Amino acid sequence: MRRLDRLTWAALGAGTLLFVLLALTFHLPQRLVSLVGSRPAAHRLDGRIAPGEYQFEYQDPASKLVFAWSIVGDQLYGAVSSPDTGWVAVGFGGGGPLMYGSDIVIGDVDAHGAHVEEDWANTPTSHVPEAAVGGHDDLLGSAGLKTASGTTIEFVRPLAAHDTTQEAIVAGQTRVLMASTESSDLTAYHVEGHKAVALLNLFAGPPAPAGGGAALPDHLTDVQIMLAAWMAVLLLIGLHGVAARWAEGGAEEPADVSRERTGVAVALIVVLMLLELAALVAFAVGIALGWPVWQLGVSLAAGLLALAGIVVLYSRAFVRWEAVRVERDDGIPW
pLDDT per position as a tens digit, 59-74: 998 999 999 999 999 9
Distance CA 128, CA 147 (A): 27
- From the number of C-beta atoms within 10 Å of its C-beta (0-12, 13-18, 19+), residue 233 rates as middle
Write down how long the chain is: 334
Distance CA 95, CA 72 (A): 26
Q: Tens place of pLDDT for every residue, the chain, 334 residues?
A: 445 577 777 777 887 887 787 777 766 666 666 555 545 557 889 999 988 899 999 999 899 999 999 999 999 999 999 999 999 999 999 888 888 999 999 999 999 999 999 999 999 888 999 988 888 888 999 999 999 899 999 999 999 998 888 999 998 899 999 999 998 888 877 767 889 999 999 998 887 554 444 444 444 566 666 667 777 777 777 776 776 666 555 444 555 545 566 677 777 888 888 888 888 888 888 787 777 666 777 777 777 777 777 777 776 666 654 454 555 555 554 4
What 3-state DSSP class applies to 258?
helix
Query: What is the pLDDT of the chain when averaged over all its residues?
Result: 79
pTM of the predicted structure, to 2 decimals: 0.54
Domain ranges of the chain: 6-25+215-329, 40-201
Name the superfamily (CATH) of residues 40-201. Answer: Cellobiose dehydrogenase, cytochrome domain (2.60.40.1210)
Give the model's pLDDT for residue 245: 67
Give the model's pLDDT for residue 114: 94
- β-pairing, 75-82 with 103-110? unpaired
Q: Which of 140, 176, 227, 232 is nearest to 63 (CA)?
A: 176
Quote the distance between the C-alpha of residue 39 and its chain's center: 18
pLDDT per position as a tens digit, 181-239: 998 888 877 767 889 999 999 998 887 554 444 444 444 566 666 667 777 777 777 77
Distance CA 212, CA 240 (A): 33
Q: How far is CA 53 from CA 33, 45, 50, 138, 251, in A?
A: 17, 11, 5, 22, 62
Q: Which of 217, 291, 312 is nearest to 22 (CA)?
A: 217
* Beta carbons within 8 Å of 66's beta carbon, 6+ residues apart: 49, 57, 58, 59, 60, 79, 80, 81, 82
